[in-house]
Every structure is written in C-alpha cells, then in structure tokens.
Amino acid sequence: MKPVKPYQQIPIQDWGEPLVPIPLEQFAVESPHPYKKLGAPYGSLSPYYLRQGVLDGLIEAQAELKRQYPDWRIKIFDAYRPIAVQQFMVDYTFAEVVRARELDSKTISQAQREAIWEEVYQLWAVPSLDPTTPPPHSTGAAIDITLVDAEGQTLDLGSAIDELSARSHPDYYGNSTTKVEQNYHARRQLLEQVMLKGGFRRHPGEWWHFSLGDQMWAWQCNQQTSTNSYTAYYGRVETEN
C-alpha cells in the first residue's frame, strides 16, 4: 500500500502561475542533469523550471548567500519534475536497492518487496496523478540544491543528494564532535538559513530539498503556528513548459 503523508492532507488552491525558466547563469548547475543522464523521460520538458513566486524566492536566497559569502552560489540539482519522471526515479531507486543487496527482483518475497518499497517511499513521493496529492516537484514549487564555493567546487554536506540513508536527515550531524562532521552540519544550516530568507521550508528528511507554496511548505508552516491557516497555492502543473 502506497503511503499517505501528513502534508498531503493540506488543501490546494492553485494560483495559476505558469512555470518559468530558471536563469541558470545566476546559479551553479548540475550538468548533465542527473536524471536525464539516467534516461528519465522528460521529452520536450525542462527540469530547470519553477513557478514565478518560487523563482523569486530562490533569487532572494541566492542574494542572501552572496551577502554572507560573496563568491559562493547555490547549485541546482533538480527543480520541476513531470509525473513520468517521478515514476521513472521511483522505479529506478527500487531497482538500485535490489541490485545493491544482490537480490533478484523476480524471486524476492512479497515481504521483501514491501520492505524495499517502504524504504523508497521514505525518500521519494508517490508519483500520484491525483490532483489532491501531487509529488512536490511536479508542482514546480520544490527544488533540490547544494552549495558551490568560490573555486566552483561543490561543497561536501555529508551525503549525496538522494542518498537512501539516515545521513540524509538534515540534523544527522547535529551532535557530532568531529570537525569534519561539524562542518557538514554548519553548511546544512547555512543552506537552510539562506533558503528561509527566500520564504522556503526544508523537507524534514532531506537536507537538500526545499519548497515554497506547495503542500509540504504549508504543512510545515502550520507546524509553526497555532492557527493552522496555511494552504497550498501550487498544485500539479497541468500544462507543459
């Protein structure tokens, strides 16, 4: 059974903003795009699009980063993700877990299969076509990012993006006593700080994932208020960019 996550109970009243291209010259970019490289079916669609309000927030976050570290940049790993790509990546991740554990997908037990799917859905949203439960990236309101330093080097934040492990949790290194791991935590905190300046909220289980205006964002905002008055204003994008 596919999980229903708490944020998916948030109602959506879409503002109807179109997807707009991210001005990539203002940021660093993962190239080639990681999911396209795997064969994800984008077709004529581009992953480097966001809703206008989300892009405005990202530009503000970049400006805040530059105020603190003038030569650093936000690096964009992924942004808009069509449902077909979400499905591809969910299936790909399942297959990778099976391969890493040296299992045979044709002979694994139902219990093993269900346990692996449970792991996969801890990281990946269900590729739902239901307009009331869209995957965050399919709304154009979520983005996966990291940091690049003055030399153009991607900073190490303690785990790979999309890593299926406890290290992906934002505060995994919060109580570390080693200098290297303290640096990982400090960089994750910096990333969250600048994104908060742009109005974003970070995924509670993924240090790299931020959203603004989608169901997860509204749910997180409601956790911080007593009124629970936030609703989502970006739902699944219905038109091609």
* Active-site residue, from 151, 206, 238, 240: 206
* pTM for the model: 0.95
206 is catalytic: yes
Tell the burial category of 77 from Cβ atoms under 10 Å away from its Cβ (0-12, 13-18, 19+): buried
List of residues 6+ apart from 136 with CB closer than 8 A: 125, 142, 209, 211, 214, 215, 216
Q: Taking all residues of the chain, what is their mean pLDDT, rounded to a whole number?
A: 95
Residue-wise pLDDT tens digits, 73-94: 999 999 999 999 999 999 999 9
Displacement of CA 98 from its chain's centroid (Å): 23
For 184-206, how does the pLDDT look when each residue is reduced to its tens digit (9 = 90+)?
999 999 999 999 999 999 999 99
Q: How far apart are CA 49 and CA 82, in angstroms?
A: 11
Write down the pLDDT at residue 228: 78
The predicted structure's pLDDT at residue 232 = 98
Residue-level pLDDT at 135: 96
Is residue 81 within 8 A of residue 134, CB to CB? The reply is no
* Residue 96, pLDDT above cutoff 60: yes
Mean pLDDT within 220-231: 89
pLDDT digits (tens, 9 = 90+) for 140-179: 999 999 999 999 999 999 999 999 999 999 999 999 999 9
Domains annotated for the chain, with CATH where assigned, are 6-223 (3.30.1380.10)
Who has greater pLDDT, 108 or 3? 108
* Pure H helices in 143-235: 179-197, 215-223
pLDDT of 105: 83
Q: 73 φ, ψ to 5°?
A: -140, 155
- The DSSP H or E segment spanning 73 is strand 73-78
162 in Cβ contact with 102 (< 8 Å): no
Report the share of the chain in percent with pLDDT over 90.
90
Highest average pLDDT, of 118-122, 207-211, 222-226, comes from 207-211
Q: What confidence tens digit (pLDDT) does each residue in 33-72 have?
A: 999 999 999 999 999 999 999 999 999 999 999 999 999 9
| The pLDDT value given to residue 241 | 56
